Chain A
Amino acid sequence: MLDFFIDVLRINSLSKILFLIVIIVYIIFAFVVFNQTRVMTRVARVSFSGVLIILSILHLLLAISLFALGLVIL
């Protein structure tokens, strides 16, 4: 079982493609979160809305950075 798992990991191209597809889907999710944060802060205006939007942008940028990282080092 462990040898099989190691062989799977060593199929670099397939695992890399799978991982990148997952990250692309996650980037779409992160964009949805960012958009919904904007909607929320428009409906209910609180003093810390700016912080929440910055965090959602940071989340999106982290997801994109992870995609770039996976592309480079895997």
Chain B
Amino acid sequence: MPDIFVQPGIEDEGQLLDERAKEGISSLENAHEKVGIFSAISRHPDNFSYENQDNDEEVLLFLRRHFITNLPWIIITVLAFAAPFLVSVIARATGTDLSFIPQPYMVVFGAFYYILIFAYAYINFLSWSFNISLVTTKRIVDIDFSEIVYHNVAVTKLELIEDIDYSQVGFIRTFFNYGDVFMQTAGEKPHFDFLRVPKPALVVDITEELIGKRGHHA
């Protein structure tokens, strides 16, 4: 049966996507933002790379959860740090005598208590710092380090992304401008979720710029 229509000039969908990715890069080429210790979003970072990154692959968008999501554990850390002082003040105010606890035990238990607080804060910071979502010129990467011993890296090609949208619900999220970005893919993992990331509308815009025009040629 003869062909009814053959779209001219489009031989390789991957090549087309690469050209669109280059257009996406051009819009970010002036945005070489560095990834700082407290950065939650960074466009085209030049001081970050990941383990399986290709030589010709560039990270266009670096995302973490918005820093405000760390507030609960920061507050707990500060309160825990101040708790022994509060206990001693309360004990003195109520006339309670704590001298029944031997001094060596107070020193050792106190040191252990503060080491635990340090570990709690450190692990929470690590968990925030290394749960990273990336949009590169070739792929979407979701690096997940939960509970310190759980490690998962999910990767999908840009051309497998079928749909992308975001949600921003509630006053806190609207005020601090962070939300959830959802990507539907045709790959083995059906969806990629970037949860509580800053500027979700920008994330969707940048990702759509990389993949969106492909739909017009499909």
Contacts and interface: CB of A to CB of B under 8 A. Distances in A.
Interface string B132-143: 100000000001
Main secondary structure of the interface of B (DSSP, over half): mixed
Given A45-B48, A46-B35, A55-B122, A66 B112 contact: yes
Interface string B141-175: 00101001101010000000000000000000000
A66 B108 contact: yes
Interface stretch (B76-84, B99-107, B198-206): B99-107
A47 B23 CA distance: 28
Interface residues of B, number: 32
Q: Which of B101, B143, B145 has the most CB of A within 10 A?
A: B145
B111 interface: yes
B6 to A, nearest CB: 44
B109 to A, nearest CB: 8
Contacts of A36: 126, 145, 148-149, 151
Given A52-B129, A59-B115, A73-B108, A44 B151 contact: no
A18 to B, nearest CB: 12
Given A43-B50, A55-B122, A32 B105 contact: no
Main secondary structure of the interface of A (DSSP, over half): helix
Contacts of A28: none
A33 B122 contact: yes
A9 interface: yes
Interface string A33-52: 10011011011111110011
Contact of B126 (A29, A37, A45, A66): A37
Contacts of B104: 73-74
B118 A62 contact: yes
B34 A47 contact: yes
A29 B119 CA distance: 10
A33 B119 contact: yes
A69 interface: yes
A12 to B, nearest CB: 8
B188 interface: no
B140 to A, nearest CB: 15
Given A47-B48, A74-B108, 9 more contacts: A2-B100, A33-B148, A40-B145, A40-B151, A43-B50, A44-B132, A46-B47, A62-B115, A66-B112
Interface of A: 2, 5-6, 9, 15, 19, 23, 26, 29-30, 32-33, 36-37, 39-40, 42-48, 51-52, 55-56, 59, 62-63, 66, 69-70, 73-74
12 contacts: A9-B100, A9-B101, A15-B105, A32-B149, A33-B119, A39-B151, A40-B151, A52-B126, A59-B122, A66-B115, A73-B108, A74-B104
* Top 6 closest pairs, chain A to chain B, by CB: A40-B130, A73-B104, A47-B47, A43-B51, A45-B49, A48-B37
